[in-house]
Chain A
Amino acid sequence: MNTHKRQTYLTESNNLSIGYKNPKGKGFHCIQNELNLHLSAGKVYTLIGPNGAGKSTLIKTLAGFLPCVSGQILMNGQNLNAIPANQLARLLSVVFTDRPYTEHLRVYDMVAMGRHPYTGFMGKLRSEDNIKIDKVLNITGIFSLKDRFFNDLSDGEKQKVMIAKSLAQETKIIMLDEPTAFLDFPSRIEVMQLLRKIAREESKAILLSSHDITLSFRLSDEIILIAKGFTGVQDIPENIVSKNLMNTYFENASFNFDTHRLSFEPITTKSRKVHVEADEFTIALLSNMLKRFDFQLIQEGPHVFSIIQNHLGFQVNSPNGMFIINDLTLLAEFLHTYETNI
């Protein structure tokens, strides 16, 4: 950790407390304390936590839209409050959850807005600006959309345009508030992979918030985990998993973080044990199916009944006797009516 201390991070927070102004009277309503975060170039950081943990507030505070309740934020070694607006615009760009709604605005013009910190008083684009805009349109894969109206695009395309606008701004730090909200599953993966590629190839620090836990654990370099009543942590996904932090921070009796699937799984309340002998692929399928009907798949030990895969299908040895079930659909039907049958 000593070597870390000497490094200048792109973004660094020291004992940061975040919150918002109390609607009545003065003072702040504090939602997170003692946040010590640091973002470096080339990495993707994903901010996760339950609703109300302060994800948006944290991003807005780090981006300078909300004042710090206490503590300090350093951008590239400089105190955030001391950086003039036009300089900050060249250091940090933000993609907000809400997409702009503007009639008659073309994708090219939208991306060109990213050049505002560099253009003159009237905002005229120089040839080098146009070259840079073409470049980011290519990186984000939306060059073919450049003459379309922004409002006519799909949510996934709009998100890529806003990311392209951020890239055109040529900032070392990009912060995105829930960039994958509203997107369908393929677009979510696409956006996440794009952000990863940008972080690596353009050497940027990317901070995003997300509710998509599985995707975040697969595609982020580090996770920033916050929750009400806990001190925020920043670590690589594997450490978060191995320290069982997800279950601690998302404390809930009805689900449990599955370290293999990297997702929250419902806790089976009755958890009647079923012994299964099958090939690996079928075990995975049966595990999912059994969970759905409140059974727990085991491969050894005492059990209520057993399912053994053979060349005919599935041999079920239950207290009622032994019988053969031919396919998965019928097996699901059997499990569904197990209670009434027994």
Chain B
Amino acid sequence: MKRTIDIIPSFTFRIIAAILLVILMFVLFILNLKSGVVNLGISELFGILTNESISDSALSIVVLKIRFPQAITALMAGWGLAAGGLLMQTLFRNPLADPSILGISSGASLGVAILILISGSLFPGFLSGDISANVAITIAAFIGAAMVLVLISLFATKLRNPVNLLVFGIMIGFLSYAVVDILKFYASKDALQKYVLWGMATFAEVDNRQLQVFLISGFIGIVFALLLVKPLNALLLGEDYAANLGHKVKHIRIIIILVAGFLTAVITAFCGPVAFVGLAVPHLARLLFATSDHRQILPFSILIGGNLTLFVNLIIRLPVFGGNLPVNAITALLGAPVVIYFILKTKF
């Protein structure tokens, strides 16, 4: 595709786009609080938020204890997944790279599978308590993700060819799913159901207490990602050029893998393996702003990612769907066409 005239999105366009995205974020956030199986009016919602009318304590609990943490979780997951996806795509110079493809999500899945399927089958009462179960799942997912992360970091220096590293990640994914399948075969019905539910991904499992941990870890990951914009830009030219520009490519590779992996591990631990957000959002941002400059594309990807997951969270809780559609059903519907479009468009 040859473009003879390139329209540069002007500075004003970018400012307006940023403001619109932030406004959209607030609107989506309010909509997330206000709608669901029970729809609230704006005045009712503000009454609850400002703690003035405690007329209906049940509604207040729904908004503050369920919808609020769910919306915040969705927002942070979108931010982090988009940032992690962009980091991976630049590092591997591959438009289809994202943390889930590297096997980090599957590592987390394996950790959770081992926990739920084994302990859930052996000691049926073990995972019944809500809080202890969530904490345990979080820790298991994090350990699983971290193990894959360590593996990848160990081999990152040996697998210098980005394609090899990508294949390595995909194979790790196959290996962990193979183990999961074997575990599933022996697991009890209850444990299996619990694992399948986790695997469909949800923003609803993070309560207000866990939210703090989730937000802090997510923010740390995003801040580190934002600090990497200069080396990320250099990597657009390939590792040799980046090195010639004075960047310590070996270190940067490892740092990028750690940051993207950390973001994925945290989000997968708290929300399950959310698919397609990390893959599709950076492409949307590049399309919209017609640039690859990470100083623009990274913040915009983060903004778009948050808006996307808030929108998804709004859709999945629509009363039409019984208020509880799996996250991945919608992200795949939105994300897969974007990926297909890119495969068809890109000259490999």
Contacts and interface: CB of A to CB of B under 8 A. Distances in A.
A94 B245 CA distance: 9
B2 to A, nearest CB: 6
A121 B243 CA distance: 16
A147 B8 contact: yes
B295 A113 contact: no
A111 to B, nearest CB: 11
Interface stretch (A16-24, A100-108, A231-239, A295-303): A100-108
B158 interface: no
B58 interface: no
B233 interface: yes
Interface in A93-138: 93-94, 96, 98, 100-106, 109-110, 113-114, 116-117, 119, 121-124
Interface in A263-282: none
B246 A105 contact: no
Contacts of B2: 152
A86 B8 CA distance: 32
Given A105-B236, A113-B234, A89 B229 contact: no
Interface residues of B, number: 29
B240 A96 contact: yes
Given A152-B2, A169-B245, A104 B230 contact: no
Given A100-B236, A148-B6, A149-B6, A106 B245 contact: no
A63 interface: yes
Given A88-B246, A96-B241, A149-B3, A119 B230 contact: yes
B337 interface: no
A85 interface: yes
Contact of A122 (B6, B229, B234, B247): B229
Given A98-B238, A109-B293, A113-B237, 7 more contacts: A89-B244, A90-B246, A104-B286, A105-B236, A105-B292, A106-B8, A113-B241
23 contacts: A63-B244, A65-B240, A65-B243, A85-B248, A89-B244, A92-B244, A96-B238, A96-B240, A98-B238, A100-B238, A102-B236, A104-B292, A105-B236, A105-B293, A106-B8, A109-B293, A113-B241, A117-B246, A122-B230, A122-B295, A147-B8, A152-B3, A169-B245
